[in-house]
Structure 1
Amino acid sequence: MQYIKDTLKDKTILITGGAGFIGSNLAFYFQKNHPYAKVVVLDSFRSGETLSNGNLRSFGHFKNLIGFSGEVISGDINDKDLLLDLETNYKFDYIFHEAAISDTTALEQDLMIKTNVNAYKDLLNLAVRHNANMIYASSAATYGNAESPQKVGREAPQNVYGFSKLSMDNLSREYMQSANITIVGLRYFNVYGPREYFKNTTASMVLQFGHQILAGKNPKLFQNSDKILRDFIYIEDIIQANVKAMVTKKSGIYNVGTAKARSFQDIVDTLQKELETDLKCEYITNPFVGSYQFHTEAEISSTKDALGYEPRYELEDGIKSYVSEIRRTYEEEVK
């Protein structure tokens, strides 16, 4: 898919978090569609370092970049010397900022704010000095339990991750008033698709249910899963929004979803159809009642108006496109 003409010849693009799920998909999009652009991937990559909840601090993985021929830098966006090196030795035209502590269950408030908010300000300053347009990952977590459809301006974050993303949005608005660059924040809803496997337990339920089914296990759903609804968005529509954001002249914060809420039961039923299985679902008590989103649905009219964005993948389309990769990761990584 090619959303813009090849006007990126000799342009330099920085993708932070480029070995992660969304960042790596962006890297390959540009490599395929704009081979004469210089793409620089920055990622801290994974180590043995974990958060207090036991999850990895970084999900970046080299396997997400196998086949990528651009420049790869291992580094932490909290490293001031690294940022100075980037500012001094490169001249970026576009920055796609995907790097973050993205675990919504993380308890380290200090690390979350330092990484997601303070380091982002440093990157914004770099973007201003390079005259580079900034496209960054915000999140639907900014809405917390806000009523559906979720709309920009009605935020109520329930965890430090959502708070940090809202803080990024507020900071961005300050810069939009004076900076001579375009700044676009994209609030991703529930994203699924290829290259998410290395997110481990934070990967989408599409992938997790798919692997359960391929293992011959009965899918385990919370009770009343047909009434637990989310705005699930396929990675190709996320890439579409990012690419369109790089050419818009309208700075702003925009939702990126499908504007359609679908159930976890829909996911399992669609997967079973595509995988040609008929396993019996098991229904368990939901232990998160009281701290759980039961309905998310992006309000995307402003996204359509400002970016020309139009979601192209229904849940069934996305899963159908994804299922071969679900099989591959199961055969090569799980079994």
Structure 2
Amino acid sequence: MKILITGGAGFIGSNLAKYFMDKHEVLVVDKFRSNETFSNGNLKSFGHYKNLIGFKGQIHCGDICDRDTIKKMREFKPDVIYHEAAISDTTVAEQDEIMRVNLNSFKDIIDIAYENGSKLIYASSGATYGDAPSPQSVGKGENPGNVYGFSKLMMDEMGREFNAKTGLHIVGLRYFNVYGDGEFYKNKTASMVLQFGLQILSGKAPRLFEGSDKIKRDFIYIQDIILANELAINGDSGVYNVGTGNARSFQDIADILQREIGVNLGNEYIANPFASQYQFFTQADIEPTRTGLKYEPRWSLEDAIKDYLPAIKRIYNSEFK
């Protein structure tokens, strides 16, 4: 097959690119990073060439909002499109830019898929739920707390509407808290698995919010994300949660990391400055995902952290020593 991956130099996109490169013809499209920042000081693009070292396929550097890039993607005539490109920083205040990049460009991606009869699989997000009660279920209580989550919710609505009208194969995957190799270049938005790991390897006690044993998330390993994306090629069209269905605490992460690294540095607890707008519990309802995609998560938090730890050590040795 011919597979197009937007955001292919990012965390999830680069993992998909490397996974498919030996089986199919792959075109990666990414804006790549520059010095451009948002008003919050964070980079506008996290795409990094180092995520694609070892990749064997085509690379096009371009913005998905740019006409020449859209032309390039259309001319590739993909069989499958993985649309991972987006502004994914939930703290960005520029609503106009997020809506242009995330929502407006999605219509162009849908048009390319329709013209070529491509199967379209795109990144939605658990951020669509906001403070909805757990377990979060598709179609129930979506109440995004930021413009990023809102843009993804509107993408889901656009995808559903186009599928209903045309029958085009469209699958939206609502990723929960993803972690794994390739996330380092997300900077401050990288998972706490990586951030705690780097703190511990530097000899510091992990810094957690007070009450972190009761703050829980549905942490999902990158290998299970790849699995869900592959299954989506032949699964039923729709919007699906991609998590484990099992919420774990931030304290669990710190404890597992210290145990695996072989240290006992204790913990440093700090007040949560975001307490008034914080999600204290997320857990994905994955029963529809099991049915529609035949998806079953394979990685526990313990096994995944053990698998991820050599990469965390590599990052520490190459970037911090």
Could you state the TM-score of these two structures normalised by the residue count of structure 1?
0.94
The answer to whether the 8 A contact 2:2-2:80 is kept is yes
Question: Which of residues 140, 144, 152 is equivalent to 2:138?
Answer: 152
Among residues 279, 282, 307, which one is paired with 1:296 in the alignment? Answer: 282
Q: Is the 8 A contact 2:208 2:268 kept in 1?
A: yes
1:128–1:180 CA contact under 8 A, matched in 2: no
Aligned to 2:109, which of 98, 123, 126? 123
- AA at the equivalent of 2:69: L
Deviates most, 262-271 or 277-286: 277-286
Query: What is the CA–CA distance in structure 2 between the aligned matches of 1:319 and 1:158, rounded to whole Å?
Result: 29
In 1, Cα distance between equivalents of 2:263 and 2:129: 36
Identify the residue that residue 17 of structure 1 maps to in structure 2.
7
User: Retained in 1: the 8 A contact 2:46–2:185?
Assistant: yes
Query: Cα deviations across residues 202-223 of structure 1 (Å, max 9, x unaligned)?
Result: 0000000000000111111111
Shift of 1:85: 3.1
Q: Which of 43, 54, 72 is matched with 1:85 structurally? A: 72
Pairs within 5 Å for 1:249-288:
250-288=236-274
Kindly tell me the number of residue pairs found equivalent between the two proteins.
320
Structure 1 residue 97, shift from structure 2 partner:
0.3
Q: Is the 8 A contact 1:143 1:157 kept in 2?
A: yes
Give SS of 1:227's match: coil
Distance 1:156 1:101 in 2: 19
Query: Does the Cα contact within 8 Å between 2:18 and 2:56 map onto a contact in 1?
Result: no
* Structure-2-length-normalised TM-score: 0.98
Q: RMSD in angstroms over aligned alpha carbons?
A: 0.8
**% identical aligned pairs:** 59
What CA deviation, in whole Å up to 9, does each residue of 1:160-190 have, x standing for no partner?
Answer: 0000000100100110112242100000000
SS at match of 1:216: coil
Letter in 2 for 1:91: K
Per the TM alignment, residue 334 of structure 1 is displaced from its structure 2 partner at its CA by: 2.3
Q: Does 1:101 align with 2:87?
A: yes
Tell me if structure 1 keeps the 8 A contact 2:7–2:83. Answer: yes
Partner of 2:192: 205
Note the C-alpha offset of 1:325.
0.2
1:181-260 matches, within 5 Å, as: 181-248=168-235, 250-260=236-246
Q: What is the match of residue 6 of structure 1?
A: none
SS of 1:290 mapped into structure 2: helix
Partner of 1:8: none
> What residue is the counterpart of 1:169 in the other structure?
156
Residue 306 of structure 2 aligns to a residue in which SS?
helix
Q: Which amino acid aligns with 2:27?
A: V
After TM superposition, give the deviation of residue 81 of structure 1 in Å. 2.6
1:28 and 1:68 in contact (8 A); partners too: yes
Distance 1:314 1:279 in 2: 24
Deviation for aligned residue 1:91: 1.1
Moved over 2 A (4+): none
Q: Unmatched 5+ residue regions in structure 2?
A: none
Equivalent residues of 1:144, 1:293 under 8 A apart: yes
Tell me if 1:134 matches 2:120: yes
- 2:9 partner SS: coil
Specify every segment of 5 or more residues in structure 1 that has no aligned partner in the other structure, as ranges.
Answer: 1-10
